[in-house]
């Protein structure tokens, strides 16, 4: 984690470097200071003789690099590094020690130092190169960190846009699938997965097997036509789902073209039109019922006239005084049959006419008697006896 620093001693830019030396040995301070004078860059050296003073300076000022002696009074170099890391200072640090210690070197490297220098021989003459190399590595690390942050931000945004696109694709209420040249599904949206969840593996399944239940491509394959001509195709297919319910789908194929202008895949839009098909069937049925109503109306008018004539003649015959009882009984049967037919014709006319409902009180017994009258003949044929109570 980077920390914001106060105003630096020297603004780093061009050949200016602001350096903090944490060194308690005066002789080593002099040797290192003289060596840094030979640097091609202008280095502002700020020297302290303890880790505590070094931390105090870091709190107040900005430094481009730190030369840190391992052996310090009260607090050694590793403890200094630990405090720097905990406080979030991201300053390239070079550790200098009078006694080489591999364990210390490994631990310091793990804590983030850029180099480990042993005070022996002409070590001071190499410091300028070591410092320059550390600064270059530090700049590279910062660039890499910024690149990682930008990459993470871009990836996060891409994931957000991907989820947003997936939600939009699923919200349209239609299935989407991408088909390759082998007629295999290589991608599908959630809606498709929900529709065909009874199929264990949808990705990789052939489209003709999914929609036609066949083992080979259709003779009039819409996918093939889209791959060959790049023309949008539409067709309807019907299949049974896992519950045995007949489902109807409309398929629309659109070519997907690569940067070279070649059709590599086909996007298939699948719309569930089962409701529309059901509505069409109901409209057709309603049309049939309307036709039956018109036919019933015509038949009722044609039957009504002869029935009225039959009833009139029966009533005339019944008025004769010399009529035998047996004949009168027969006429009564004919009259009842004619009246039943007339009631049936009346009900047919009522069925064929537009209904205007008026709510009123009625006698349920009369309603049941009229209803039974309509079905009386069909009931007798089936040897069913109705007992009214």
3-class state of residue 174 by DSSP: coil
The β-bridge partners of 352 are none
How high is the pLDDT of residue 95?
Answer: 94
3-class state of residue 295 by DSSP: helix
How high is the pLDDT of residue 9?
Answer: 38
How high is the pLDDT of residue 92?
Answer: 94
Looking at per-residue pLDDT, the higher value among 168 and 153 belongs to 153
Kindly state the helix (H) or strand (E) to which residue 299 belongs, with its residue range: helix 274-318
Looking at per-residue pLDDT, the higher value among 254 and 322 belongs to 254
Most confident of 12-26, 52-66, 196-210: 52-66
CB atoms within 10 A of CB 358: 4
d(CA 142, CA 137): 9
* pLDDT tens per residue, range 328-375: 788 888 888 888 887 777 776 676 666 666 788 888 888 888 788 778
Cβ proximity of 92 and 114 under 8 Å: yes
Task: Report percent pLDDT > 90 for the chain.
Answer: 28
Cβ proximity of 7 and 62 under 8 Å: yes
As a whole number, mean pLDDT of residues 200-227 equals: 81
* pLDDT tens per residue, range 231-263: 888 888 787 777 778 888 888 989 998 888 889
Strands 65-69 and 16-22: parallel
Looking at per-residue pLDDT, the higher value among 240 and 75 belongs to 75
Averaged confidence pLDDT in the chain = 83
On the question of pLDDT at 111 being above 70, the answer is yes
How high is the pLDDT of residue 8?
Answer: 37
Cβ proximity of 47 and 138 under 8 Å: no
On the question of pLDDT at 136 being above 70, the answer is yes
Most confident of 62-76, 188-202, 372-386: 62-76
How high is the pLDDT of residue 1?
Answer: 37
Q: Which residues contact 312 (CB under 8 A, 6 or more apart)?
A: none
Q: Tell me the H-state helices in 72-204.
A: 77-86, 102-110, 127-171, 190-195
How high is the pLDDT of residue 268?
Answer: 87
Q: Where are the beta strands (DSSP E) in the chain?
A: 16-22, 42-48, 65-69, 93-97, 115-118, 175-179, 185-188, 233-240, 246-257, 263-272
3-class state of residue 347 by DSSP: helix
Cβ proximity of 64 and 114 under 8 Å: no
d(CA 37, CA 60): 25
How high is the pLDDT of residue 15?
Answer: 67
How high is the pLDDT of residue 47?
Answer: 94
The β-bridge partners of 177 are 188, 268
Of the listed ranges 126-130, 210-214, 218-222, 345-349, the one predicted with least confidence: 345-349
How high is the pLDDT of residue 18?
Answer: 93
* pLDDT tens per residue, range 183-205: 898 888 888 878 887 777 788 88
Distances (CA, A) of 23 to 55, 57, 134, 272, 352: 13, 14, 19, 79, 112
Question: Does the predicted model carry a pTM greater than 0.75?
Answer: no
Q: What is the DSSP string of 66-98?
A: EEEES--SSS-HHHHHHHHHHTT----EEEEES
Strands 246-257 and 233-240: antiparallel
Cβ proximity of 190 and 166 under 8 Å: yes
């Amino acid at each position: 984690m980077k920390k914001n620093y106060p105003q630096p001693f020297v603004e780093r830019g061009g050949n200016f470097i602001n350096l903090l030396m944490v060194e308690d040995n005066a002789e080593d301070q002099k040797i290192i200071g003289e060596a840094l004078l030979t640097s091609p860059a202008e280095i502002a050296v700020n020297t302290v003789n303890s880790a505590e003073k070094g931390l105090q300076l870091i709190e107040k000022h900005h430094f481009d690099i730190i030369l840190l002696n391992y052996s310090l009074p009260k607090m050694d170099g590793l403890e200094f590094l630990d405090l720097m890391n905990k406080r979030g200072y991201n300053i390239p640090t070079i550790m200098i020690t009078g006694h080489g210690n591999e364990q210390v070197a490994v631990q310091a490297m793990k804590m983030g130092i850029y180099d480990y220098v042993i005070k022996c021989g002409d070590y001071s003459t190499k410091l300028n190169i070591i410092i320059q190399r550390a600064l270059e590595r530090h700049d590279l690390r910062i660039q890499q960190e910024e690149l990682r942050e930008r990459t993470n931000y871009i990836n996060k945004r891409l994931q957000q846009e991907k989820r947003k696109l997936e939600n939009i694709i699923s919200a349209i209420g239609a299935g989407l699938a991408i088909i390759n040249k082998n007629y295999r599904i290589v991608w599908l949206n959630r809606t498709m997965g929900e529709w065909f969840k009874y199929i264990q593996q949808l990705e990789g399944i052939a489209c003709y097997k999914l929609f036609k239940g066949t083992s080979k491509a259709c003779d009039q394959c819409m996918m093939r036509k889209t791959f060959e001509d790049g023309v949008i195709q539409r067709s309807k297919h019907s299949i049974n789902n896992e519950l045995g319910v007949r489902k109807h789908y409309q398929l629309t194929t659109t070519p997907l073209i690569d940067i070279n202008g070649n059709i590599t895949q086909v996007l298939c839009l699948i719309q569930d039109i089962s409701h529309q098909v059901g509505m069409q069937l109901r409209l057709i049925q309603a049309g049939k019922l309307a036709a039956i109503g018109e036919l019933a109306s015509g038949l009722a008018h044609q039957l009504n006239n002869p029935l009225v004539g039959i009833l009139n003649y029966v009533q005339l015959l019944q008025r004769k005084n010399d009529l035998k009882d047996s004949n009168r009984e027969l006429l009564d049967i004919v009259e009842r049959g004619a009246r039943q037919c007339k009631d049936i014709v009346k009900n047919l006319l009522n069925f064929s006419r537009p209904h205007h409902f008026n709510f009123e009180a009625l006698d349920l017994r009369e309603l049941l008697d009229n209803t039974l009258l309509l079905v009386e003949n069909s009931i007798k044929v089936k040897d069913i006896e109705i007992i009214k109570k």
